[in-house]
Structure 1
Amino acid sequence: MDTTGKPLFCDIDLAKRIERAEVQLITNGSVAAHRRNGEGTGFLKPVMEGVASFAEKASPLNKVAGLGFGGVPDDVLLDEIEQAYADRGAPVQVELAHLADPDVGAVLTERGYQLTSYENVLGFPLSGKHGRLVPEGIGIRPSGEEELERWIEVIADGFAHPDTQGVPSQEEFPREVIAAAVRDLVGAAGMRRYSAVCDGAVVGGASVRMTDGIAQLTGAATAPAHRRRGVQTALLAARLADAAAVGCDIAVVTTQPGSKSQENAQRQGFHLLYTRAILVKQT
């Protein structure tokens, strides 16, 4: 891995590219949730090259993403979006990159949106070949359909027990909703899944989605009894190696500010690219 510390610069074009990939990811997962629950239970609305998504009650996919790179939404469009969330008893949550058009933030705050938290987007430059690191006693392999439920269980457990280091997350989701969202995403978003195996049992899992030269690291977790053994480092190395092999030029991951996840990512050579402000309006 590249641990030279050479800064990776993120300009507006790169941020727009990453946000576009995020919009695609959320859209695909939300569509899958609508199919599972029945049409009309949720919605997807385009918003100035971004998207407003409602997958199902209490879902982590309920958000407005990708704003600020395709113009400023007017009051009519925002009224429509806010009403759609209100009809489902949900607040409007906007994730707004700090490299986006600042006029979007001004419009939202004038409409009563409040800043509740932040999340960081980190990047890793992919070039040439990347090695695979496999700790003793652990195997890393593509995850097959026969172990999908165990893989989802490991990932859902990881999300249910988030970092306690750094700025705490303001979001909490029921474990069954997390598991459903993970299942929707891996089934609809074209992800590659990986399992970490010890003595024949799945003890860790991770996934990556590759699009437009971007490798989105979309989730990783290790069973508590197998932590501190290098499982996450090995899962990361496998994903970076595969992403570089198919021509991706950058890998990205989202973390809570100051979290253990961010610390671990930066130790592996990731650089902070930009921050998303989380703006919420109760409907």
Structure 2
Amino acid sequence: MWHAEQTALAEGVEAEFMYRYESSAPSQVRAELGIATTHIGGGVALAMRNDPTGYWNKALGFGFDEPVTGELLDRVLDFYRDEGSKMAVIQVAPAVLPQDWDDLRARHGLRPEGKIVKLWCPIDFFTAGVRTALRVEPVGFDDLREWASVVLRGFGMPEQGMGEMIAAAAAHPDFRPFAAWDGDRMVAGANLFLHGKVGSLNTGATLPGYRNRGAQSALLAARAQEAVQAGCRWLVAETGQPAEGGSNSSLNNMLRAGMRPLYTRENWVWRSDGADRLTRSPSRAEQGRIGVEAFG
């Protein structure tokens, strides 16, 4: 498999599980959070008008069914304007950015704010060891709402509405949620999303007070084994790129397990007021949640 195919699959699986997360929300939650989802140009555009985190207004998966052009960006941003979103993050793999990207993104008011590392490996190369006293198991249907709560709190996100949204998506058989327990208390969670021969490792977070106890390494190993049993050939994941001189424990865990960087992708942020916010430090939501696996 060559690089272009890997890139297309990596972007496609992330776009699909992000679309599932938001489109699966119950109707009452969709109304409460102002959720709207659509497919544009082979990618997805996801709006959450009442998003308090700056994370869920996101568009990705572009450049494979049709090229990235000014007309495509117009359609994407018109969707966010029509939905009343105040901001959106546009994510495009560097391999499919057009030569005139700098002109296009400047014309459309897109500002760089944080980077995401996309990781990839053949499933046989994955070697995560399990070093934890915590119990790691799949999450049953009755525990999905608790799992959603743990994940959101681990990410520092509010639960209202989003807990129901995440739990509803995780009930689909293509989602395989796992958790770590300290006795009877769930303290960490993570998800595996199955998409053909690709298994996406995403949504990994641990509650404060239980970090550095091996939960995420054990959750990586458990999900990789589940992906093997499901017939996957490849594993893919994404997490925030740390600042120069900084560290990201999630990235380090995945590198130790045999995953390798495929590329680094910029977050291009659009705001409805057109204000230049480059002097502001990117929030953890906009950076892809440094130190945890990204939702996407």
TM category, shorter: 0.7 to 0.9
Structure 2 residue 26 is the aligned partner of structure 1 residue 37: no
Structure 1 residue 68: Cα displacement: 1.8
Q: Which amino acid aligns with 1:118?
A: K
Structure 2 residue 74 is the aligned partner of structure 1 residue 85: no
Note if contact 2:22-2:46 (Cα within 8 Å) is conserved in structure 1.
Answer: yes
Query: Residues 228-276 of structure 1: CA distance to partner in whole angstroms, max 9, x if unpaired?
Result: 2222211111111111122211111111113221122212222111111
- Cα distance in 1 for partners of 2:205, 2:184 equals 17
Specify the alignment match of 1:249 in structure 2: 233
Note if contact 1:34-1:40 (Cα within 8 Å) is conserved in structure 2.
Answer: no
Specify the alignment match of 1:52 in structure 2: 45
Tell me which of 151, 157, 163 is aligned to 1:179.
163
Q: How many residues align?
A: 262
- Cα distance in 1 for partners of 2:72, 2:8 equals 21
Q: How does 1:142-181 map to 2 (within 5 A)?
A: 142-160=138-156, 174-176=158-160, 178-181=162-165
Note if contact 1:129-1:241 (Cα within 8 Å) is conserved in structure 2.
Answer: no
Q: Which amino acid aligns with 2:89?
A: Q
Q: Which amino acid aligns with 1:23?
A: A
Specify the alignment match of 1:166 in structure 2: none
Structure 2 residue 89 is the aligned partner of structure 1 residue 105: no
Note if contact 1:29-1:61 (Cα within 8 Å) is conserved in structure 2.
Answer: no
Specify the alignment match of 2:182 in structure 1: 198
- Pair 1:235–1:69, CA change in 2 (3 A): same
Note if contact 2:25-2:166 (Cα within 8 Å) is conserved in structure 1.
Answer: no
Specify the alignment match of 1:70 in structure 2: 65
Note if contact 1:121-1:273 (Cα within 8 Å) is conserved in structure 2.
Answer: yes
Note if contact 2:49-2:86 (Cα within 8 Å) is conserved in structure 1.
Answer: no
Tell me which of 125, 139, 159 is aligned to 2:122.
125
Specify the alignment match of 2:56 in structure 1: 61
Specify the alignment match of 2:221 in structure 1: 237
Note if contact 1:19-1:65 (Cα within 8 Å) is conserved in structure 2.
Answer: yes
- Pair 1:131–1:278, CA change in 2 (3 A): closer
Query: Residues 161-216 of structure 1: CA distance to partner in whole angstroms, max 9, x if unpaired?
Result: xxxxxxxxxxxx54536534422431357311112223232222221011121111
Tell me which of 252, 263, 270 is aligned to 1:274.
263
Specify the alignment match of 2:11 in structure 1: 19
Specify the alignment match of 1:209 in structure 2: 193
- Cα distance in 2 for partners of 1:94, 1:24 equals 15
RMSD: 2.9
- Pair 1:265–1:130, CA change in 2 (3 A): closer
- Cα distance in 1 for partners of 2:129, 2:94 equals 34
- Cα distance in 2 for partners of 1:74, 1:158 equals 37
- 1:21 alignment partner, SS class: helix
Mean CA deviation greater in 28-37 or 116-125: 28-37
- 2:225 alignment partner, SS class: helix
- Pair 1:39–1:228, CA change in 2 (3 A): closer
Calculate the TM-score normalised by the size of structure 1: 0.80
Higher relative contact order (CA 8 A, sep 6+): 1
Structure 1 residue 38: Cα displacement: 4.4
- Pair 1:44–1:195, CA change in 2 (3 A): closer
- 2:227 alignment partner, SS class: helix
- Cα distance in 2 for partners of 1:28, 1:123 equals 21
- Cα distance in 2 for partners of 1:34, 1:73 equals 32
Mean CA deviation greater in 36-45 or 113-122: 36-45
Structure 1 residue 12: Cα displacement: 1.4
Note if contact 2:206-2:215 (Cα within 8 Å) is conserved in structure 1.
Answer: yes
Specify every segment of 5 or more residues in structure 1 that has no aligned partner in the other structure, as ranges: 1-8, 161-172
